[in-house]
Homo-oligomer: A and B are copies of this chain.
Amino acid sequence: MNFERNIQLIIEYDGSNYCGWQVQKNGVSIQEVLNKAIQKITKEDIYITGSGRTDAGVHALGQSAHFKTQTSIPINKIPFAINSQLPKDIRIQDAIERNIDFHSRYSAVGKIYEYKILNSEHGSALDNNRMYHIRERLDIDKMRQAAKYFLGTHDFTGFSSVHSSVINKVRTIDYSDFDIDGTHIIYTVRGNGFLYNMVRIIIGTLIQVGKGKIDHEDIPMIIGSKERAKAGPTAPAHGLYLQKVLY
């Protein structure tokens, strides 16, 4: 019998055709597709654990996950082997041999997300499932100023889904800014953890600032209120990308 190995995977996916990361009764999940592909190549009943869920439609450039196995497949062959069993909209980009205690979720010290907005008249055929199209001209300067108020350690109760069951809602954000490239507006946020829907509610609030519906100077008050109703709406899933999980 071989030694048990703990293998971390870095995964890119187009979330458009999945019900999200996590196995669910209705719809095909990314986790389920990965489980089946890995079971096929290892011929073991493995189970993959992710760094966290992503919702239906959310994309990932660097989702992180791990699984325990006794397979003898060399580590550098693992991405090729798994990719050969995966649909084209899920790709393993890297496989890393970890010590047995590594856990893709509990060992993580932070995450980076991007949110992509297309601020143009008619939207894009090619980026249709890849960016959130907003016709109304956004005030980027005000959005930039508003984004800065999210930096630091805050209780993000008002920026999480009311369905969230987590008790400690204090999180620290150390990067929160926009990049502009013509009609493309890209928001990047890095933090030590994010509550359910937190990034989508933050960007939903920043979009309201860009539309002039929320004053950027009111952001500290909105955060402080801890009231979900004071923040903006949850922005659509298809603009969101899990960029990287930090360890």
Contacts and interface: CB of A to CB of B under 8 A. Distances in A.
A93 interface: yes
A126 B12 CA distance: 8
A164 to B, nearest CB: 28
Given A14-B125, A14-B126, A59-B126, 9 more contacts: A12-B126, A61-B126, A88-B123, A88-B125, A88-B128, A88-B129, A91-B122, A91-B123, A93-B121
A195 interface: no
Contacts of A125: 12-14, 88-91
12 contacts: A12-B126, A13-B125, A61-B126, A80-B122, A88-B125, A88-B128, A88-B129, A89-B125, A89-B128, A90-B125, A91-B122, A93-B122
A130 B126 contact: yes
Interface residues of A, number: 23
A140 to B, nearest CB: 22
A122 B59 contact: no
A80 B123 CA distance: 10
A233 interface: no
A172 interface: no
A153 to B, nearest CB: 33
Across the A-B interface, give the 8 residue pairs with the lowest CB-CB distance, nearest first. A91-B125, A88-B128, A12-B125, A13-B125, A89-B125, A14-B126, A14-B125, A91-B122
A22 interface: no
Interface in A110-164: 121-126, 128-130
